[in-house]
Structure formats: structure tokens, C-alpha cells
Amino acid sequence: MKNYFKSVSGIAAVLTLVSLVVALFLSSFSLLNQLHLKTVDTFFSLRGPMSPIDSSIVVVAIDDEAIKSLPSKYPFPTAYYSRLVKNLHQAGARLIIFDIEFTEGDVSDPQSDLEFARQIREAGNVILAGKVVFEVGTYGIENFHLLEPLAPLLRSGAGWGLVNTIEDSDGFIRQYLLFHQINNKTYYPLAIKAIEILQNRPIPAHDPHLRHFDTGVFQIPKHSANTFLINYRGPARTFPLYSLTAILDDSLFQLLEDDDTDIFDLHLEWGTFRDKIVLVGASAEELQDNKYTPFYHHRGNKRKTPGVEMHAHALSTLLQRDFLRNAPGWTSLIACLILAFLTGLITLSLRPFKALGVIGLLILLLIISGFLLFSQAGWIVNFIQLLLTIALTFIANTLYQIVRVQKEKTRIRQTFQQYVAPSIVEKMLSTGELPSYGGERRELTMLFSDIRKFTTFSENHEPEYVVSRLSEYLTEMVDIIFKHNGTLDKFVGDEIMALFGAPYSFVDHAERACIAATEMVARLQAMKKQYNTPQNGMFKIGIGINTGKVIVGNLGSSQLFDYTVIGDHVNIGARLEGANKEYQTTIILSEYTYDLVRKNAIARELDWVRVLGRKKPLRIYELRGMNSLPQMEKDYLIDLFAEGLQAYRDRRWAEAIRTFHRILRFYPEDGPSRIFTIRSLNFLENAPPSDWDGVYDFQEK
């Protein structure tokens, strides 16, 4: 840590602090606040519906069924609600809460309002709905006035609560009103009014300076001056929901347009509503009382929640007292400060991509921690603020690092590029180490490529033409090698030696080498068409590929060295490139390479050979393609050739000859089939010794 503070002193430390201040400033903007709200919604969705569901609350909805089945059109006559209250009271409902405003009398039957009031009085447990209406009057003066329930209903002794909703900037409802004051008088929403009745004691006068709202029995943490956060239990229909028709449809109600089932009599028998808090409201989409909530996008389904259910979720939050709380501002500030300097430490200590990976892991841990805080403890952390702090600190320090490192690289490159190979300079710059003599043992894949009959080509053309064609050829081939993260070791005339897996190590080095080889051959075919080069010209190559442990590093003398490889497996790769002349093939793999790429490479076993200078034999393969091959080519050159090769090794020379002839009938230029036909004919006339093991010894490099 001591070294860190030394490294971040000066410009880096200033950049870190500036990033923190900018992040805190930007997080207050509306757009970023909406991103924070969407983060909260995501946590709701990840947590999913709470279990078990609060069984004390049920919802009676004016749904599509009610609008369709009941003979009277919406708005329904008051008589319907009178029967609703009577039936729910008879069913033993603990509390009946209306999310329906009764602010106008029933014009068609004024007496029904009095009957409704009588049923409310007899039930003694009804809460009605009212609303605070906001208007902008003359000269921009803001006015608030109440829409209270009808006077006859209020005289029934029923309590009433506000149904006003508080929408966030994106139109979603995440918070719930605690109280509203008009002319120094306090009014409470439905859920708070229900708590007041259920706890059988009035809500005490509220102190606006407190960070909580006191009900007299428990405290509610405030989200804003007069709201708290709803801990939604789930999406729409989380609570048991019954159609209004199910409550009205008793044995005395005969007005249903559809089949009359008297279903409410069964609910009485089952005790469906006994001791339940029943909320009554609209759910039909045409009544336009459905709201956007955090569960709107739950599991890919876009579904609004009826407003009456929103009140149910708020009431359940109060009853269960599992409140959501915003993390205090001082904790967010400390967290941002720690994250800013931690991000600065990571950025200045590691290379950019590694630093990005570590910071990505840090962000993942933050998200997991935040989700656990939300789901287990009900704490909401402003992750947009934290992520913005991390992002700005990382960007600022990375840009600082890039500028500083590029200046240093420019100085080193100008100093050393005149004396050592460019690849060594780049490795030195990337690792920060000066070139030194020595190497390390590592598994690599070596690719050797050589032009066939280049000497003849050179003799038949002018030197300028040869140099031009060779330069173009080498450029195209090296581009392909670099494309697949290969390293150009050296040119030896027209021969190319490339490494895969050094200086940068990657597990699929063998597969990259094979893909590069097939692309090199394909590119040569395109060049041959472009220049109409004869088949026996320079545009025909042989490629040998081998994989094994070699010594790689800065090798040579203390005065002059190069980044290269040495070892037995290097020699094998070079021998395989030359073996293409023997078999008249293009790409030959060793068994060590083939074992690593056999899942994706399409190759045929060529032979079991002993290369010059090596006693141990090895199997070699001709690479025909990667991932796909024409079916006929696979049938003959892969499958049928394997049968012929097996017959050859089993000393069934005549059968082997017939098999290879079948291949040559369709592929007359297939070198391996011609070679093994000749060998089989020779063995047919002069059989090998009894201890012949099938190994072919190369006599040339």
C-alpha cells in the first residue's frame, strides 16, 4: 500500500479525486437516476416473488369478467357495492378497503347511497377512498383540494384514505405516500389508514425532521419527506384475486348475464374471506388503473399491476415490516472514496486488459453484494453512482497511464530499434524488461513454409520480378500468421519460420497454426489466379507443423542474439515441411499437433516415419481442412485411404494396390496414393523382412 500511494501521488491522485467528484455530480442527473431505478427493478426481478405470500390480504377486482357479465355497465350502481359489503361482512372479512372513489351520488337511484351507507355502518370495518386534487390557478398559484367520499357515506362512521400515487421520473411506482397536509390538517393514504384501524390507535403527530414515520406502534423509514418504498411481493396477481362477480353471485343475486353459479355461497362455506383484509378496486385495462411497477418486465413478460394491488403491496410491506431503505449518504460517499482509490491502485498496478478484468470482477462482487443487501436486508445501494466512480477513475488513470507509457515506449524504441529485432523491442516494451540472453522451456507450435522449385523460378525470371513476387508472397503469408497471433521467427530465403504460443502464450496455439496454414494455401491459390502463375511456379508451397516443448527466448551470443526457438521439436517441424516433397502434399502435421487439433481438423494419417537425425518414429498426417470437407473428398482421401493404408501395413499388398487405384481413378494427382501404390508394388515383388514394422526412414532432410 505504501508503494501504491507513492505511485498515485501527483497527477494520478488528482485524477482519482477529480473522477470521484465528477461521478458524484453526474449521478444526480435525471438520466443516471433513472438507471439507478432500473437497477432496483432488476434486483426485484432477480429476487422474484416473495414466499410465502402474505395470506392475510386478498383482492376483489372489477375485471373484464365483471364488466362483461354484470348487466349494468360501468360505473356500476351503488347497489352492487352495498351487496359487496354485506357479503364480505357476512363472510367474516377483517377489513374492507375500497380503491374506488364514491364522490358522486347514484343519480338513477339516490336511495341506494343510503343503503350503501347502512351496509357500511353495519359492517363497521370499511375504509373508503378519497383524493387530493392538484390544480394550477390564476397567476400560477398552486391549489390543493380534497375529493372526499359522499357525506352519507362519511356519516356511516367509515374511515377513508387517499388513493394518490407517487410516480418516479420514469412513470413507475416504487414509493407510497405516508401523509399529505392541507391547511395544517394531515390526511393519510389507504394503507396507513388501514394500519391505524388495525392497531386500534391513532397515528401520532408527525415530526418532519425525523427520518422515519411513527405509526405509534412501529416506525417506517422514509424515502422522501412523505413517502416510503414499497417492497413489492411480486408481479400482478401475486395476491389471491377474485372477480367482483364472485362476491355478488350469491343465491339471491340473479342478474348475471352468463350462467348463475351462486359461487359466493361456496366461498362462505370455504371461509375464503374469513379474517382477511379485502381490497376492492379495478383491474380491467379499459378502466386505466393499471400501474408500472418494478415487476413490469418480470421474466420477459410486460405486465402492469392493478392500482388496487399496488395498495395491497404497500399494506403488506407495513404489516410484515420488511421495509426497503436507501443506504445513508455517508456510506455511499465512503464506498465511492474506497472504490476510487482501489480502482486507481488496480489501474496503475496492472496492464489495461488485466486491470479491466480485475475491475470487472470487482464490479461483479459489488453487484452480488448489492443484491444480497437488497434481498436479505432490504438495503438499496446506488450502484450507478458506484459504477460511475469506478468507470471514470479507470478511464482517467488509464489515459494517464497510456500517455505516460507511450512516451516511455517512444524513448525506448528510438534507443533500441537500431540494434535488435523489432519483435524483441515490442516484447521488451510490453513486459517492461530489457533484453537479456537466455530462454525458457515452453510448449509451442512451429510452422515451416517453403516455396517449391524457387531456384528454377529465379533462374527463369528477371531478378526484379523475382524480388517483387517474393515480397508480395511473404507479405501476404506474414499477414495471415499475424492474424492468428503467430510470431514471425525468421526468413531463410523463401522459407518462413513462425511460432504460435510465444511470446504470448495461448492454449489453442496448435489450432491457430493449422488454421493459418489452410489460409496461406487458399491465399496462394488466389494469387496464382491473379497472376496466372503456372502450377510448377513459385506459387506452390509445402508446410510442416509440429508441436512440442522447446527452448524459446533471446538466444545467440552475448554480442548479438535473436528471439527464436531451439530443440528437437523444431527440427521435426522443419523435416515435415520437406516431407511434402516425398508425399507430394501441401500441409503435414506431426502426431503431437494432430492430437491437439483432431476435434476440428480433417486430416488423414500419411505414414509412420523416422525423420533424419531422430531414432524414435512418429506418425504424420496430411491436413486437408478445418471443420469441413467435401463429402467425396472425405470418402476417398480420408476414409478409403485409411483402408488402403491399413492393408499396406497388414502386408495385403494386392488389396492395398486396388484401394489406392480406386482413389487415383477420381484423384489422379493424389501423391500419397501414388507413393503407396509404388511401395506396395515393390513389396509385392520383394517382400520386406519378417520384422518389418511399417516405419519409413527418410534419407533426406
3-state secondary structure of 499: strand
Average pLDDT over every residue of 68-80: 88
Q: What is the pLDDT of residues 516-531, one digit of tens each?
A: 999 999 998 888 877 7
CATH 3.30.70.1230 holds for 435-627:
yes
Beta-carbon contacts of residue 473 (< 8 Å; ≥ 6 apart): 451, 494, 524, 527, 538, 539
Q: What is the pLDDT of residue 8?
A: 45
How much of the chain, in percent, has pLDDT values that exceed 90? 46
**Are 140 and 173 in contact, with CB atoms under 8 Å apart?**
no
> Are 295 and 232 spatial neighbours (Cβ–Cβ below 8 Å)?
yes
Mean pLDDT in residue range 399-404: 75
Confidence of residue 627 (pLDDT cuts 50, 70, 90): confident
The whole-number average pLDDT for the span 275-299 is 92
pLDDT band at 419 (very low <50, low <70, confident <90, very high): very low
Cα distance between residue 378 and residue 375, in whole Å: 6
CATH 3.30.70.1230 domain range(s) in the chain? 435-627
Lowest-confidence segment of 109-123, 314-328, 549-563 by average pLDDT = 549-563
Q: What pLDDT was estimated at residue 487?
A: 83
User: pLDDT class for 291, splitting at 50, 70, 90?
Assistant: very high
Residue 301 has pLDDT above 90, yes or no: no
Span 135-174, pLDDT tens digits = 766 665 667 788 999 999 999 989 999 999 999 988 999 9
For cell 524483441, name the residue.
Answer: 424
CA distance 628 to 630: 7
535 has a pLDDT exceeding 50 = no
State residue 4's pLDDT score.
44
pLDDT at res. 417 = 44
Average pLDDT, the chain: 85
Q: Give the phi and the psi of residue 59 in degrees, each rounded to 5.
A: -125, 135
**Overall average pLDDT of the 6-34 stretch:** 62
Is the model's pLDDT at 501 over the cut of 60? yes
Tens of pLDDT, residue by residue over 421-477, are: 455 556 656 666 544 456 788 899 999 999 887 777 777 778 888 888 888 888 889
In whole angstroms, what separates CA 140 from the centre of its chain?
A: 49
Check residue 62 and give its pLDDT. Answer: 94
What is the b/e burial string over 470-508, where b = at least 16 CB atoms within 10 angstroms of the residue's CB?
A: beebbeebbebbeebebbbbeeeebbbbbbbbbbeeeeb
Q: Tell whether the model's pLDDT for residue 622 goes beyond 50.
A: yes
Q: What is the pLDDT of residue 228?
A: 96
- The number of CA neighbours under 13 Å toward the Cβ of 86 is 17
Over pLDDT 70: what percentage of the chain?
86
